Amino acid sequence: MKPARQLLAAVALGCAALAALPTAAQTGPTPAEAARYQGLHAAAHRGDVAQIGKLAAAKADLNARDGNGRTPLHVAAFAKQRAAIQALAKAGADLNLLENDRYDGVTIASVADDEETLRVLLALGASARLVTSRYDGTALIAAAHLGHDGVVRQLIAAGAPLDHVNNLHWTAVIESIVLGNGGARHQATLKALIDAKANLQLKDRQGQTPLQLAKSRGYGEMVKMLEAAGAK
């Protein structure tokens, strides 16, 4: 393979690896783990609101951790057990704890494109502003990467930090471009960020602006949106 082709292949592999970052680190309970759960973790996983109430009344630890640092609320978020989330919150569970991979309930729902669970969490007072994951990102950055435009709009409305820079030196705007496919949902994600007045001039580690990144990838519709918003 010629050196130029080797370089292109390496870049392609690097991009593929980066595209998997936010989701690869997030690990929900396996069926085997769930089968071993007891107490509040078991009740949260199966959505047993009555049992959650009984255990809470008996002073069970609402924020107990499993082997991966997941609380019952994390387990309920992974399982999309919204009534269990509400019951845990009513009993006093902490909505903003991070598990071992540094994900909270809001980020778990955001990565899963689970708008209804996210809506429940935010209505209960969970924060959209936490720094999460091993990449020091946010739920908004993770959702922008994945093109979860409805989630992005919810997080923006909940006060998520628009211009947070993660340890890859990327913002939500940048991730919607460099880790997206330029398609309809990533375009809608970028539009939501533009409409919310996200900073379009923040550069990546190589000094590239969002507009330059969109042009380099041939994402014509994104280029049009950015230029219309005054991006340089």
Residue 72 phi, psi (nearest 5): -55, -35
Length of the chain measured in residues:
232
Answer whether residue 185 is part of any domain: yes
The answer to the question of residue 18 being in a domain is no
Close Cβ partners of 187 (under 8 Å, ≥ 6 residues apart): 221, 222, 225
pLDDT above 70 for 2: no
3-state DSSP call for residue 46? Answer: helix
In the prediction, which pLDDT does 139 show? 98
Is residue 37 located within the same domain as residue 92? yes
pLDDT digits (tens, 9 = 90+) for 197-206: 999 999 999 9
Asked if residue 22 is part of any domain, the answer here is no
> What distance in Å separates the CA atoms of residue 69 and residue 97, rounded to the nearest whole number?
10
Q: Say if residue 66 is in the same domain as residue 137.
A: no
pLDDT tens profile 129-165:
999 999 999 999 999 999 999 999 999 999 999 999 9
Last residue of a domain, one of 83, 101, 119: 101
Number of domains in the chain: 2
Per the structure block, which two tokens stand in for 126? 């969970």
pTM for the complete prediction?
0.89
Instruction: Burial-class residue 144 by CB neighbours within 10 Å (0-12, 13-18, 19+).
Output: buried
Question: How does pLDDT run across 50-98, given as a tens digit for each residue?
Answer: 999 999 999 999 999 999 999 999 999 999 999 999 999 999 999 999 9
Q: Does 50 reside within a domain?
A: yes
CATH of the domain at 197: 1.25.40.20
**Domain extent for 78:** 27-101
Q: Is residue 115 part of a domain?
A: no
Residue pair 30/150 in contact by the 8 Å Cβ criterion: no
71 & 142 share domain: no
| In the predicted structure, residue 104 carries a pLDDT above the cut 50 | yes
